[in-house]
């Protein structure tokens, strides 16, 4: 794991652990690797909000609010992991820590005009697909307030309209207009709260796949 991907990858592991247990109905791995999971979660508690030197696997922008969100959801997933194996004290602790982190994140990640979630910390003009919101929905946590999902859904609707002529669908974030990612776009389509916005995001992915071109 690259040193700059600590938040990205530890968040991934905790989210995948919980998803595997819930889908398979087998919690053996949760017990077997609980000590390691706690170490990951403690790392995220201390580092998720400090994403200045953190990137995702493709080297995406530092100070990413999307990466910070993944780390916070990872902490919330740890609360559920602890609860699932009867570690109730840890479950309460990680649940409280996740809620505190989320409140801090919302304060720094919401644009000053309340229109959308920022892509880059402190940059009011920045935006992101914020595809890591998908993890909250996939795990059924109901962690991020519906009002936040609705706000960002409205913003993405406007971005779909602004990028309607693009052959690649929505860009990943505001740092580039030509960097689209089919998987991340589909993650975004899965968390939005409006079916029309969902379908339009999926349409962009379909158009890209159907174009028979390798660029993008």
CB under 8 Å to 143, separation ≥6 — which residues? 73, 76, 98, 102, 136
pLDDT tens track for 72-115: 999 999 999 999 999 999 999 999 999 999 999 999 999 999 99
Residue 25 Rama label (left phi>0; alpha psi -120 to 50; beta): left
- pTM here? 0.91
Residue spans per domain, the chain:
3-210
* Contact (Cβ atoms closer than 8 angstroms) between residue 125 and residue 174: yes
Residue 39 has which token pair? 């170490």
Between 208 and 29, the more confident residue is 29
């Amino acid at each position: 794991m690259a040193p700059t991907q600590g938040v990205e990858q530890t968040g991934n592991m905790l989210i995948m652990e919980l998803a595997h247990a819930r889908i398979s109905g087998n919690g053996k791995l949760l017990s077997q690797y609980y000590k390691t999971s706690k170490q990951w979660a403690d790392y995220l508690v201390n580092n998720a909000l400090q994403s200045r030197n953190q990137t995702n696997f493709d080297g995406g922008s530092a100070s990413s609010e999307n990466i910070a969100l993944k780390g916070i959801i990872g902490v919330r997933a740890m609360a559920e992991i602890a609860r699932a194996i009867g570690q109730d004290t840890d479950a309460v602790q990680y649940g409280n820590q996740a809620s505190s982190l989320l409140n801090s994140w919302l304060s720094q990640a919401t644009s000053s005009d309340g229109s959308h979630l920022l892509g880059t910390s402190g940059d009011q003009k920045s935006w992101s697909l914020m595809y890591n919101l998908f993890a909250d929905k996939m795990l059924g946590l109901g962690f991020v307030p519906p009002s936040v999902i609705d706000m960002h859904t409205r913003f993405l609707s406007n971005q779909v309209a602004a990028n309607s002529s693009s052959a690649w669908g929505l860009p990943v974030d505001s740092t580039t207009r030509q960097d689209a990612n089919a998987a991340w776009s589909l993650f975004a389509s899965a968390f939005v709260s409006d079916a029309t916005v969902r379908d339009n995001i999926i349409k962009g992915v379909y158009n890209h796949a159907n174009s028979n071109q390798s660029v993008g």
